[in-house]
Structure 1
């Protein structure tokens, strides 16, 4: 039986695809850490800069492929398409969650 996406995953994907900064950042703890493409982004202001730059440069869209786990250690596979070389690509998103907020996000192939 497939695992259904949590509300957090659903909101994450919706905010990502809508390019809604307020909704996206509301999912993160103020001191959250994001790992993506070999770079780290600490706190919501750095996360805002990272995601808004990605949206402006690549217009990414995320489609859920598979939920791997939910809860404090949430993980899912998502197909990301956009205006970047190699699009589309399936990426694993690993989220550490505490009190319903993302404290850490790792994105990798």
Structure 2
């Protein structure tokens, strides 16, 4: 089995995913955006609120299994399973990194 080596900001994001929303938000730049479930969340406060809302609604696990590059930006494929409609599902996390942090993230099938 090959260990997936992720860029540091992305590894930090997945390590923080099940922790406090503020820990997740610190993985992002101050003006970062997250697009998930057809909604865009801009800035660390909105990103923390997005994580808090998701944690209140769902219990899930995220297992990254592949790292690709699209137009020079990392895309991580993850197996996500939990108590949400359509579980389990494989999702693609499209990242744009800036100064050692995440500048944008789009989560899509």
Q: Same fold (TM over 0.5)?
A: yes
In structure 1, distance between residues paired with 2:95 and 2:22? 19
Question: Residue in 1 aligned with 2:91?
Answer: 91
Task: Give TM-score, length-normalised by structure 1.
Answer: 0.87
Question: Does 2:16 align with 1:12?
Answer: no
More helix per residue: 1
Question: Does 2:49 align with 1:49?
Answer: yes
Secondary structure at the aligned position of 1:5 is classed as: coil
The alignment yields a C-alpha RMSD, in angstroms, of 2.1
Task: Give TM-score, length-normalised by structure 2.
Answer: 0.87
Question: Does 2:73 align with 1:73?
Answer: yes
- Between the two proteins, the alignment pairs up a number of residues equal to 107
Provide Cα deviations, 1:13-49, integer angstroms capped at 9, x if missing partner.
Answer: 1111x32323211110111111111111111111111
Q: Which runs of 5+ in 2 are unaligned?
A: none
